[in-house]
Structure 1
Amino acid sequence: MKKLILVLIAFVFAFDASSQKRAEPFAHTFSIVARDSVTGEMAVAVQSHWFSVGTVVAWGEAGVGVIATQSFVNKSFGIRGLALLKEGKSPEVVLSTLLQDDSGKDFRQVAVLNTQGDVASHTGERCVESAAHKNGRNFSVQANMMLNDQVVPAMEKAWFKHHALPLGERMVAVLKAAQAVGGDIRGKQSAALLVVAPKATAEPWNDRLIDLRVDDAGDPIAELERLLKVFRAYEHMNLGDLHVEKGEMEKAMTEYNAAMKMFPNNLEMQYWTAITLANNKDVKKASQMLQKIYTLEPNWRALTSRLPKAGVLNVSEADLKELIR
């Protein structure tokens, strides 16, 4: 392993010596770019034995497309590729344009997908084996420096097998399948999942639907899967908050209960559920929940006393005393 890394480092310095640019990152990895044919959402998921792979490989923009750039990475491919897609160019033209003047194209691995599910992929002849890609309508899976040649077929199979899952969970299932048959020959370190909306909106800060990264972990895919579950739970919490704003307390409680069912030991979820109960005049039940929370973390009691001033908790003085006793 040490010898392999030294060889790679030597190559990068030699490859970059003429321009004196910063060495390009080694994102030797497996990844998938894909589109949900029902929702139109697009995504990139990736895992590598390299630190913070998500900041290097995964690129996407709502209403435009997604790109994975890996192996000896040319990070400009992400931004430049999305700009070309935005101009209306096909993935094939985008990929050809990116590679045509790239002196390192034989070492690149790239996949481009647009809003229609059209895909173009490239695996350079000098990518470290095992290296390959496979694409079809709405997806492309690609891998390099794999333990064996079973990784790409396993990813393709998993993509079709898990068609009923939401796109985020489906992407993670593909990563798990890749790892199960061997994955990266060097092992595991980081992973990422990016999901963008099918269309851009007037609120671009909301157009990245999921953006999760595990920068350094012993089992990054397992951690990514856990974070996705947490994300889904907080989606329920956010929906609950929206229902509270509209005065729809029954619907709010349905969402809060769904979140707590997913993470029964999460004090944050328990706490705001209790506060919603109190605002809905169920002070007794709210107090029972809060007392258990205070026992585990007393600072929540102090927070409760501050909420009335902010207008977040609307109860009488007598009820407040019951809630913070």
Structure 2
Amino acid sequence: MRSLTISIFLTLLLSSPGLCQKPLSIPVSTYSIVARDPATGEMGVAVQSHWFSVGSVVPWAEAGVGAVATQSFVDPAYGPLGLELMRAGKSAPAALNALVSTDEDKAVRQVAMIDAKGRAAAHTGSRAIFAAGHHVEKQYSVQANLMDKPTVWPAMAKAFESAEGDLAERMLCALEAAQAEGGDIRGRQSAAIVVVRAVSTGKPWEDRLFDLRVEDHPNPVNELRRLVRLQRAYQKLNEGDMWLTKKDFAKAIESYKQATTIVPDKATNGEAAFWVGITLINDAKQVDEGIPYLVRAYRQDSRWAELVTRLPAVGLLPDDKSLIDRLTIAMKKKEN
């Protein structure tokens, strides 16, 4: 019954007019990687291009299902349709073959897919602009077109396989290797990264671990790396908030402190340090330990001192004028 259902679904899907039938006149020539981390099951896409807002077109991913990169003379429909087919039970190679086989303009397409089991597949059309090609292995595929030279995607594969860290880090290394090898012959403009969980939580906003775009920048991959690092810090801040709601102050403080070590205070305008200090003072009753963090925040923006005066009204600091005065005076000391 399941195979019959999928067969009917495919027939209806692929016979519908307009699906993968008409190319867009948008040459999103680029290099990208689709990959899965076998240790965590996380899946993702990372991409860079000399085209504005590449992240709005190329990368597609869904927790528990798979990831798709659609590029060259791009048809964005490959993204949602590829995910739909994999969600219905098709492997990435089968899903890609089903869509390419019905595409009248497959010669100008470049598409890669990976499913939740790590099965990857790629298609580079015969009319993709030189240098163009792909390299597929278990757990990932790298693909590129309109490159400076045909060594770009092999360099991506080598970098991804040798890199350490989580999936986001390894995919960033692949993008950096592509650029170091010459990258897009037209230059560089935008980049994006999407990473999703191995299994869906049923809450899409929690399933996306990274969903970041650099729309227009002279060095988009470097900027993307900065944003990934910043998001790691905010993930720790969110983790701290979660522990705080559970009244586990020790774990909350640990998470908040970790956030302050990932990026400098300037990167968050002092916010990470500020909330470490407030949590130490309000919840852990460690005033002396909390004050230096408030001082660090004040060095970035003097308005943090004003915010301190507003927190007692919402229960985030004791309603104790002597304590509030002590905190704001310490923050404003000239030697700070």
TM-score above 0.5, yes or no: yes
Structure 1 residue 218 displacement after superposition: 0.7
Is the Cα–Cα contact under 8 Å of residues 24 and 74 in structure 1 kept in the other structure? no
Mapped to 1, the partners of 2:300 and 2:137 lie a distance apart of: 52
2:317 aligned residue (295, 313, 318): 313
Per-residue deviation, residues 230-286 of structure 1 (Å, max 9, x unmatched): 111122222222232333333323222222122232401111111112112222343
- 2:198 aligned with 1:198: yes
Establish whether residue 27 from structure 1 lines up as the match of residue 28 from structure 2: yes
**Count of residues paired in the alignment:** 304
Where does the alignment leave 5 or more consecutive residues of structure 2 unmatched? 1-21, 330-336
2:18 matched residue in structure 1: none
Q: Would you say the 8 A contact 2:23–2:105 is kept in 1?
A: no
For the 8 Å contact 2:273–2:296, the answer to whether it is kept is no
2:301 corresponds to: 297
Question: What secondary structure sits across from 2:195 in the alignment?
Answer: strand
2:55–2:192 Cα contact (<8 Å) kept: yes
1:100 maps to what in 2? 101
Can you list the C-alpha shifts for 1:15-44, whole angstroms capped at 9, x where unaligned? xxxxxx894322100000000001000010
Q: Is the 8 A contact 2:23 2:73 kept in 1?
A: no
Percent of residue pairs identical: 46
Residue 207 of structure 2 is aligned to residue 207 of structure 1: yes
Partner of 1:134: 135
Instruction: State whether residues 59 and 78 of structure 1, in contact with CA within 8 Å, keep that contact through their aligned partners in structure 2.
Output: yes
- Provide the C-alpha distance between the structure 2 equivalents of 1:208 and 1:43, rounded to a whole number of angstroms: 9
Counterpart check, 1:161 vs 2:162: yes
Task: Indicate the residue corresponding to 1:222 in structure 2.
Answer: 222
Q: Deviations over 1:182-228 (max 9, x none)?
A: 11001111111100111112222211111011111111111111111
User: What is the match of residue 13 of structure 2?
Assistant: none
Contact persistence 2:313–2:319 (CA under 8 A): no
TM-score, length of structure 2 as denominator length? 0.86
- The offset of 1:170, in angstroms, is 0.4
Give the CA deviation at 1:314. Answer: 3.4
Q: Which amino acid aligns with 2:276?
A: T
Match of 2:7 in 1: none
Matched residues in 1 for 2:86 and 2:258: separation? Answer: 39
Distance 2:318 2:142 in 1: 52
Structure 1 residue 276 and structure 2 residue 282: aligned? Answer: no
Give the SS at the match of 1:182: coil
Native 8 Å contact 2:72 2:128 kept in 1: yes
Q: Distance in 2 between matches of 1:65 and 1:179?
A: 26
Q: In 1, are the aligned partners of 2:229 and 2:263 still within 8 Å (CA)?
A: no
Task: Give 1:315 shift.
Answer: 4.9
Alpha-carbon distance in 2 for matches of 1:72, 1:177: 24
Q: Does 1:177 align with 2:181?
A: no
Q: Which stretches of structure 1, 4 residues or more, deviate above 6 A after TM superposition? A: none
By how many angstroms is 1:320 displaced?
A: 2.0
Q: What is the CA–CA distance in structure 1 between the aligned matches of 2:166 and 2:233, rounded to whole Å?
A: 14
Q: Secondary structure at the match of 2:217?
A: coil
Q: TM-score, normalised by structure 1?
A: 0.89
Partner secondary structure for residue 71 of structure 1: strand
The root-mean-square deviation of aligned C-alpha atoms, in Å, is 1.7
| Separation of aligned partners in 1, 2:317 and 2:86 | 48
The whole-number CA distance in structure 1 between the counterparts of 2:84 and 2:314 is 44
In structure 1, the residue matched to 2:244 is: 244
**Deviation (angstroms), 1:88:** 0.5
AA aligned opposite 1:270: A
Contact 2:147 2:185 in 1 (8 A): yes
1:34/1:113 contact within 8 Å kept: yes
Q: 2:35 touches 2:118 (CA, 8 Å); kept in 1?
A: yes
Q: Give the C-alpha shift of residue 90 in structure 1.
A: 1.8
In structure 2, C-alpha distance between the alignment counterparts of 1:246 and 1:226, rounded to whole Å: 31
What SS does the corresponding residue of 1:271 show, helix, strand or coil? helix
Q: Residues 66 and 289 of structure 1: is their aligned pair in 2 closer, same or farther, counting only changes over 3 Å?
A: closer
- 1:148 deviation in Å? 0.3
Aligned counterparts of 2:23 and 2:34: Cα–Cα separation in 1: 27
